[in-house]
Amino acid sequence: MRIAILSRNENLYSTRRLKEAAEARGHQVDIIDTLHCYMDITSNSPKVRYNGEDLPQYDAVIPRIGSSITFYGTAVVRQFEMMNTFCVNESIAISRSRDKLRSLQLLSRKGIGLPRTGFASKPDKIQDLIRNVGGAPLVIKLLEGTQGIGVVLAETTKAAESVIEAFMGLKANILVQEFIKEANGADIRCFVVGGKVVAAMKRQAAEGEFRSNLHRGGTAKLVRLTKEQRATAINAAKAMGLRVCGVDILDSNHGPVVMEVNSSPGLEGIEKATGKDVAGLIVEYIEKNAKPYSSRSEGRG
């Protein structure tokens, strides 16, 4: 098959591994810089332009869209969808996952375990909001933060009030969330491919830190999932409509709760912690699910 990886940097571990895994299985791979793609959106034969030429009709596209380019990146993925190209994650599902509020609303509707979470735009609602999530200590989160930046732990009600007021004063949208203390600074990253958890790791925050992000100095190791954790991850991926994703779970005293679902999960941490060929499993998923363009009726002639 002919596969494109949408990525800003061919040297990133995840990009390199996906290319390597696809080539090892006999596919032809192009790494396409997402921001260098452009398009004539009104053409009746939609195409993606790249360096002055039309990109070929790929059999599959693997979007690796960083959170800093969500808007443009999803427009490019959507253009490939207009060309009937199989995209490993759909643009709409990527957009959904980039907004923590929207994600939690969708997960909640499906009855998936979540930390108690509130949202408001006016400071006069703060006290009720804090009470609703069970009081301090609590976590305050920017809607579009990533890598642990924009996640604050407020130990007391007073601290929570002033942090919330400060964020609202800056017109930043925030979530107010129950602090899952019993997780002890650990979370579980479940890597889901095609409705199955193919690898899982436990990430432990650095000493004195509650955020387990590897970018914040967390360490990762292989973990065996309970049935409940596995089901939570699979249901969360399904609710978000993501075929490949990382579902982050905290172990709370009211069962596993989903913190977030990542639509371009990194491969380095999970492959190193688990020793699994996750890139190969993604390629295998594509082989089973993407119909080669040349075998489709619209691809002939």
Ligand X SMILES: Nc1ncnc2c1ncn2[C@@H]1O[C@H](COP(=O)(O)OP(=O)(O)O)[C@@H](O)[C@H]1O
Distance between first and last Cα of the chain: 18
Is 180 a binder of ligand X (CB under 6 A)? yes
Q: Residue 45: name the closest of 53, 35, 33, 54 by CA.
A: 54
Judged by CB under 6 A, which stretch of 2-10, 14-22, 171-179, 223-231 contacts ligand X? 171-179
Distance between CA 201 and CA 199 in Å, rounded?
7
- When the beta carbons of 79 and 213 are compared against ligand X, the nearer one is 213
Judged by CB under 6 A, which stretch of 2-10, 37-45, 82-90, 137-145 contacts ligand X? 137-145
Residues ≥6 apart with Cβ < 8 Å to 122: 168
Is 133 a binder of ligand X (CB under 6 A)? no
DSSP letters of 223-289?
Answer: -PPPHHHHHHHHHHHHHHT-SEEEEEEEEEBTEEEEEEEESS--SHHHHHHH---HHHHHHHHHHHH
- When the beta carbons of 16 and 202 are compared against ligand X, the nearer one is 202
> How many CA atoms does the CB half-sphere of 161 hold within 13 Å?
9
- Exposed, middle or buried, 193 (CB in 10 Å: 0-12/13-18/19+)? buried
Is 183 a binder of ligand X (CB under 6 A)? yes
Q: Check if the beta carbon of residue 198 is closer than 8 Å to that of residue 277.
A: no
* Contacting ligand X within 190-249 (CB under 6 A): 205, 210-213, 248
Q: Check if the beta carbon of residue 47 is closer than 8 Å to that of residue 83.
A: yes
- When the beta carbons of 248 and 277 are compared against ligand X, the nearer one is 248
Is 139 a binder of ligand X (CB under 6 A)? yes
- Least gap, CB of 136 to ligand X (angstroms): 13
CA distances from 154 to 179, 186, 245 (A): 9, 18, 29
Residue in 56, 148, 194, 217 binding ligand X, rule: CB under 6 A: 148
**Per-residue binder mask for ligand X (CB under 6 A), 111-130, x = binder:** ----x---------------
- When the beta carbons of 46 and 137 are compared against ligand X, the nearer one is 137
- Least gap, CB of 290 to ligand X (angstroms): 29
Is 132 a binder of ligand X (CB under 6 A)? no
Is 260 a binder of ligand X (CB under 6 A)? yes
Q: Using CB under 6 A as the criterion, which residues of the chain lie in contact with ligand X when the complex forms?
A: 115, 139, 141, 145-151, 177-180, 183, 187, 205, 210-213, 248, 250, 259-260
